[in-house]
Amino acid sequence: MAIVREFNLFTNAGVSTAPVVHVNQYDHDETWLFTLFDESGAKVNTVSAAILGTKADGHVILNDAYCVDGVVHVLETIQMTAAPGRGTFEIVFDGANHGTANFIIQVEPRPGDTSNLSSSDLSLLEQAIQYGTNMMGTVGVTNDVKVALLNLLDNVAYVDQSGQQYYDALRNALMDMGTGTGGGGGGTSDYDELSNRPQINSVTLTGNKSASDLGLASTAQVNAKYTKPSGGIPKTDLDSAVQTSLGKADSAIPAPSSPASGAFLVWNGSAWVAQTLSTWSGGNY
């Protein structure tokens, strides 16, 4: 179940008592919502933010946050909660041009934890490995770099079952990494070896693809596209059946108008003509 907690935070120090966020050691994945106010009590609507602080073990961290309707959303990470004790933090916002008054993250130690490792470094390693994994699709990573990261991870201590699982997940992520060639340069010069290659209409751009292969119109199809003349579509451009119907319409007898009182209309082959009984000599009526 996702846990969400809400806090009010002033942008100026001394306006209010610093809020305290109480957490347990190694907790993660809570969402903390910070609504920011200036010293007058007016809400500060920010569009970008991050959480910056010094943990109880002296390590400085800077984690991204995101904003919805001016409220700063911070995702709790193991990096924040690994070191037991009192840490001092603030929200930096709008391109780190501004910061809030400090608030406290108070981490209650897990019973039996010997605190004999820099637990927060696990999260730093995770970020480095994730970055490397993301970069794999573009530039690759040399085998030397992969081995160095594995050795570094193997030298990080862990103290409990959750730490072991965390370690195993990171090591598996490293092992799943592909490698480039060479000893120090990394990357690849072969386009076909890249992952996440671009696509058009769900077709991966490999080899010599034709417009038909990509679901695109060919040059001939584009050139054959009908362009409506500025004066309208001529009769000769229409389907033959439509032309025949239009020809019949051209020769059809139009509906007559109402004749004058005492008269009636007679079709003379080209137009309706008003007649009376004294003038009519026969014809259509």
Instruction: Decide if 158 contacts 166 (C-beta within 8 A).
Output: yes
Q: Low-confidence residues of the chain, pLDDT below 50? A: 115-121, 135-140, 157-162, 180-186, 284-285
Q: How many CA atoms lie within 13 A of 133 on its CB side?
A: 14
E strand map for 57-191:
60-68, 71-75, 85-93, 98-99, 103-108
- The pLDDT of residue 31: 95
Specify the residue for token string 């010599």. Answer: 208
Closest CA to 122 of 53, 59, 37: 59
Instruction: Decide if 126 contacts 42 (C-beta within 8 A).
Output: no
- The pLDDT of residue 161: 45
Contacts of 262 (CB under 8 A, 6+ apart): 276
Structure tokens at 78: 């193991």
The domain limits of the chain are 4-108, 120-175
| pLDDT tens readout for residues 136-147 | 444 445 566 666
State if pTM tops 0.85: no
Structure tokens at 181: 């060639």
CA dihedral 241, 242, 247, 250 (to 10 degrees): 150
Q: Is 209 helix (H, G, I), strand (E, B) or coil?
A: coil
Q: Determine which helix (DSSP H) or strand (DSSP E) holds 221, and give its type and residue range.
A: helix 219-223
Q: Domain 4-108 falls in which CATH fold?
A: Immunoglobulin-like (2.60.40)
- What's the one-letter identity of residue 146? K
- The pLDDT of residue 98: 84
